[in-house]
Amino acid sequence: MATASGEGCSGDAEAGPSWWDGRSSLSERAPERTAATEKSSAQQPAAPVPLDIGNTEPFVKVRGPEEAAGRVLCTTAPGGPCAARGMPGAVYALGIMVESTKASSSLPQPGDEYDFYRCFSGFRAYCEMQSDRLLDCMTRVMQYYGCRSHMKDRSKITDLEDKFDILVDANDVILERVSILLDEASGVNRNQQPVLPPGLQPPQTIVSSWNRKAGESHKRNQTETFRLLHAKNISRPQLKFREKIDNSNTPFVPKLFVKPNALKPLPEALTKSGRERKERPEDLDVPPALADFIHQQRTQQTEQDMFAHPYQYELEQFSPPDGVLQKPEPQMYRPIKETPCHFITTLDELVELNEKLTNCKEFALDLEHHSYRSFLGLTCLMQISTRTEDFIIDVLELRSDMYILNETFTDPAIVKVLHGADSDVEWLQKDFGLYLVNVFDTHQAARLLNLGKNSLDHLLKVYCNVDANKQYQLADWRIRPLPEEMLQYARDDTHYLLYIYDKVREALWEKGNELPTQLEIVWQHSKDICLKKYIKPLFTDESYLELYRRQKKHLNTQQLSAFRLLFAWRDKTARQEDESTGYVLPNHMLLKIAEELPKEPQGIIACCNPVPPLVRQQINELHLLIQQAREMPLLKVKVACTTQETHFLPSLSQGMELNEEEEKNVILLTC
């Protein structure tokens, strides 16, 4: 094509693509207001106008109770974006963010398409200008929350990956602050009974500007904001588990002890008999230390089998049945009101469900997970849909019995349809010892079809004309009993999935010129996902270096020692208490304490706002760790990041050159 050559790149802005008119701002593209328009606008609410991201004056921080509720209000400053609307600034800002995110999907995709548009000088200039404006806005937000904000400093940040790390860290800080303020707004309930969500008892409303409706005129078919459903002082489900959660600092061993649909027998080391150490007659007269050594030598040959994927051989031998590689005839889903829905809470009901699934050719599967109040995370709910019924399983209640579903989950003749199965595969292994054979991932199909968006929401809209309700995606799925709204939300994730499975297969068949090549690619990608193994997080003496590298802070030996000791304490405490490391001590608080090196316990408390419960409980132990770090000799630090052929030694003394005497007082770390 001519446009792909050097001559095609010489065009100016006027020669750009049709969707972009070369103007440098949104205001230049706004239509001129006529007298009729002015008259019409005087009678109707003002239409949304672009938010000037450089103007932050209309937004103020409210002190007092409003601040505790996490509210950011908008003043009615002349010309401010909220003055003509009479709406809270956070609501307006959230709307702008949502619209901006939606609009970003229409931008040129990375690759040849984007390179083509970059040929136009006007397009390049426009992109650079908007990029500077966005980076400036992001920097201001980060500075407001006290985060690192070198987004535009080219002398300090040159790598896109580094900028992404800064953005992720800032998001963590801001979202954590939001969560903390919401908890404060909900009040402290000292009642031992859990505070359940609205509909089960008088609600305790979280007052904030973004979750309040503008008036009673709102209807359910209109766009509604997210709702955070969480329970204060909820009884921890881990306490009721028959098998204690293993947070030990040891590799994950598959929970499987029976292997249905096996082509290769389960290794002896994974069977119940193999997991128990057997005493041999010849070991009775051997000293205990020598007996342990002999036992280790005997079991060393079985370690590879213990940590291998139990169904690796079956997955490698699997090939999709011929029936699913033919052109499908989409089977319309039943209306959700006419479809039976069963909530499974007993073993008998689970066995009955498994028998029903054995008679199905395919079924849809999804999980709901919770990770904040558990070290390894908890799978809280499982949704399964067939062509005629929906099932919701309380896996917190049936956690020790879920393994019986392996009979159908590993059956190569039954298709398991999931969307974005990467995490689901690992959660099933970790919590239940469940494995999957013959999976079709609709997310992989959407990627192959180049639908622009690969989310389940988008597929629901495209193929089912259903607007997904994402109000409860931030909910705490440990809540029991679950309110009707959350059950409906969970049910929607699988109810339509089999019809989507039919439609994407039909599209892949047509894209492959009525050959199964595209379908085979999706099944291969899905099989690769099923081959993933759950990897348990392990602590080592060097674990803290990864977090230290991402923080990009310059710490001396005392501060780095404190950072290392606090990191180790946090990991140990999180494993013992079965809490996430973010709950025990968030990253930014850990770094703050290490930088400040407080001399008194009150100083440690001052570095945390609000103070995590476990920090307050173990403040004396933390104080001793800080004192231990302060006794270290004060030296400069270098970090050595070694790759196969590259040795990089960035000085942590703010780029200062070290003379020979100073080089002697340097500690070298390897990350």
pLDDT at 63: 41
Q: Quick one: average pLDDT of 465-492?
A: 88
Q: Does residue 592 surpass a pLDDT of 80?
A: yes
Return the pLDDT at 15.
44
**Spatial distance between the Cα atoms of 518 and 525, rounded to a whole number of angstroms:** 11
- 22 pLDDT higher than 60: no
Weakest-pLDDT range from 242-251, 359-368, 427-436, 640-649: 640-649
Per-residue pLDDT, averaged over 67-94, amounts to: 51
Write down the H helix ranges in 150-268: 160-186
CB-neighbour burial class of residue 194 (10 A; exposed 0-12, middle 13-18, buried 19+): middle
The yes/no answer on whether domain 543-670 falls in CATH 1.10.150.80 is: yes
Task: Give mean pLDDT, residues 627-639.
Answer: 81
Which residues have C-beta within 8 Å of that of residue 550, sequence separation ≥ 6? Answer: 165, 169
Q: What is the pLDDT of residue 204?
A: 42
The model's confidence at residue 566, banded by pLDDT at 50, 70 and 90, is very high
pLDDT above 80: residue 581:
yes
Choice between 626 and 74, residue whose per-residue pLDDT is larger? 626
Pairing of strands 72-74, 59-61: antiparallel
Residue range 494-507: mean pLDDT, rounded: 97
pLDDT in tens, 335-348: 999 999 999 999 99
pLDDT of residue 5: 42
Task: Describe the strand order of the beta sheet including 378-385 as a list of residue ranges.
Answer: 341-344, 390-393, 378-385, 362-370, 415-418, 439-441
Mean pLDDT of 296-317: 78
Bond into 197 cis (ω within 30): no
pLDDT value at position 153?
Answer: 60
Dist CA 254 CA 270 (whole Å): 7
Query: Which pLDDT score is estimated for 3?
Result: 43
**Is residue 104 within 8 Å of 110, Cβ to Cβ?**
no
In this predicted structure, what is the pLDDT of residue 580? 96
pLDDT tens digits, 185-201: 766 443 344 444 444 44
pLDDT tens digits along 223-244: 444 444 555 568 899 999 999 9
- CATH code for the structural domain at 312-530: 3.30.420.10
pLDDT for the residue numbered 508: 96
**Better-predicted residue by pLDDT, 81 or 121:** 121
Residues carrying CATH 3.30.420.10, the chain: 312-530
pLDDT band at 138 (very low <50, low <70, confident <90, very high): confident
- pLDDT-derived band of residue 135, with 50, 70 and 90 as boundaries? confident
Neighbours of 334 (CB within 10 A): 15
Which range of 63-77, 108-122, 146-160 scores highest in mean pLDDT? It is: 108-122
Say whether pLDDT at 205 is over 70: no
pLDDT digits (tens, 9 = 90+) for 531-553: 999 999 999 999 999 999 998 88
pLDDT greater at residue 101 or residue 2? 101
Q: What is the pLDDT of residue 21?
A: 46
Q: For residue 370, what are the β-bridge partners?
A: 378
> Which structure tokens are listed for 469?
């309700």
Which residues have CB under 8 Å from 85's CB, separation 6+? 45, 46, 92
In the structure, what pLDDT confidence band is assigned to residue 215 with cuts at 50, 70 and 90? very low
- Average pLDDT, whole number, for the chain? 77
The yes-or-no verdict on residue 427 having pLDDT over 70 is yes
**Stretch(es) of the chain classified as CATH 1.10.150.80:** 543-670
pLDDT tens string 350-388: 999 999 999 999 999 999 999 999 999 999 999 999 999
- pLDDT > 90 fraction of the chain, expressed in percent and rounded: 49
Residue 7 has pLDDT above 60, yes or no: no
